[in-house]
Structures are given as structure tokens and as C-alpha cells.
């Protein structure tokens, strides 16, 4: 089975074969790809590529409280179906609150500084706790394609904060960050349609 799907944001394919045929198919692909400088890559590279394109990992960039609307993915919920599992939950007052945590991108001032996943985000840094937490980092990587670090975070009213300066609480300091969109590389999607 060959599927044209991409978790990397590039034109790519997945090939599914019985495990017993895996080495033969791998060798055939590597041989055929030599003239194109084929390069295998692992899951860590795949995670960086997916983050560059704004692709989420359910369970890492989401939890049981996150809705498609919080992700900016309202388009995946049909407005035409009379009923579906979860429809009632999407209509609750709590789900429609404007201050819900929404997925956004974060950029550090220092391009080489990679945030810690799980780091709490604050709007105001104070000399002593408590500080009001407005969200947390869900994914963070260094992107060789962009020459800088990138991150996702779930932030209260995140989409209303585009361009706003916040701080990520790291072990030794509060790192200044700027709230951005979640697509960092090839926002028009030209490469995946290449």
C-alpha cells in the first residue's frame, strides 16, 4: 500500500508492506533513490519538520480539554451533519469562552535558545512568585531550515495575542518570547504540492 500523506509538510509517501518484506523494499527504495541523493531520517527530524509546518501531535500539543476551535481547526468539524459524537460538547458555554487556551507559535528573542516543553508562560515577570500563568509550551525544537528555535504553546486567548511579548519560565530565567502563528515554514504549502 502506497499513500501520499505527509506529516513532514513535504511531498512524501508512506509505503506499507508486511514486516517480512520490509528490508527488501527498504533496499530497493534506497537503491532507486541514490541518483536523487535519498536520505533516510528518523522520528526526531520528522517532529521538527511537522512543527515547522504547524502540524500538531494529539496528546502532546493537545489534552482532553482542547477543541478543534482551540487549535484553529474549526474546518474539520462538519457544520452540515445533524449530529456526531462530541457535538453537544462543542456547544457548551465553557467551550465558547474567549479566554480558552489556544494553540499558538512562540519565537524566542535569541534564535538558538530552545524552550523546555512544559515551561509555563507568564504575561508579567515579578521578582517573587506568584506569577499568573497564561499557558505552557507543548512542543519546542531547533529548526535547521529556519536557523532558529520554534515552539508551540497553549495560551489563554492565544490568537488575540499575536505579536504580544510574553515570558517562558525556564529553570534559571524568564525567557522573552513573541506570540506568532503556528506555521513557521512554507506557509503557502508550495512544497507539499510540489
96 pLDDT tier (thresholds 50, 70, 90):
confident
113 pLDDT tier (thresholds 50, 70, 90):
very high
SS3 165: strand
SS3 175: strand
pLDDT at 97: 87
Would you give the DSSP letter of residue 11? Answer: S
pLDDT at 190: 81
19 pLDDT tier (thresholds 50, 70, 90):
very high
Instruction: Give CA–CA dist 89/120, Å, rounded.
Output: 27
* pTM, two decimal places: 0.87
Segment 93-118 shows an average pLDDT of 94
Pairing of the two strands 174-180 and 165-169: antiparallel
Provide the 10 A C-beta neighbour count for residue 169: 20
Residue with cell 521578582: 127
What is the per-residue pLDDT across 122-176, written as a single tens digit (0 to 9) for each?
A: 999 888 778 899 999 999 999 999 999 999 999 999 999 999 999 999 988 999 9
pLDDT at 86: 85
Closest by Cα among 72, 160, 148 to 123 = 160
What is the per-residue pLDDT across 46-63, written as a single tens digit (0 to 9) for each?
A: 999 999 999 999 999 998
Instruction: Give CA–CA dist 187/166, Å, rounded.
Output: 24
pLDDT at 194: 61
Provide the 10 A C-beta neighbour count for residue 91: 9
Q: Which residue did the predictor score with more confidence, 10 or 177?
A: 177
Provide the 10 A C-beta neighbour count for residue 164: 16
Amino acid at each position: 500500500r502506497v499513500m501520499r500523506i505527509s506529516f513532514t509538510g513535504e511531498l512524501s509517501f508512506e509505503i506499507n508492506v508486511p514486516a517480512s518484506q520490509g528490508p527488501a523494499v527498504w533496499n530497493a527504495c534506497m537503491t532507486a533513490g541514490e541518483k536523487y541523493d535519498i536520505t533516510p531520517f528518523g522520528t526526531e527530524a520528522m517532529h521538527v519538520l511537522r512543527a515547522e509546518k504547524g502540524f500538531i501531535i494529539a496528546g502532546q500539543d493537545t489534552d482532553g480539554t482542547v477543541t478543534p476551535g482551540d487549535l484553529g481547526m474549526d474546518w474539520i468539524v462538519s457544520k452540515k451533519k445533524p449530529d456526531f459524537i462530541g457535538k453537544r460538547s462543542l456547544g457548551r458555554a465553557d467551550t465558547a469562552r474567549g479566554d480558552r487556551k489556544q494553540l499558538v507559535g512562540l519565537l524566542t528573542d535569541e534564535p538558538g535558545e530552545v524552550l523546555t516543553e512544559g515551561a509555563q508562560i507568564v504575561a508579567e515577570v515579578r521578582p517573587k512568585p506568584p506569577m499568573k500563568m497564561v499557558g505552557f509550551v507543548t512542543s519546542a525544537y531547533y529548526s535547521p531550515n529556519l536557523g532558529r528555535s520554534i515552539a508551540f504553546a497553549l495560551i489563554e486567548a492565544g490568537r488575540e495575542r499575536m505579536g504580544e511579548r510574553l515570558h517562558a519560565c525556564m529553570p534559571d530565567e524568564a525567557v522573552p518570547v513573541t506570540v506568532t502563528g503556528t506555521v513557521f515554514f512554507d506557509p503557502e504549502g508550495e512544497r507539499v504540492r510540489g
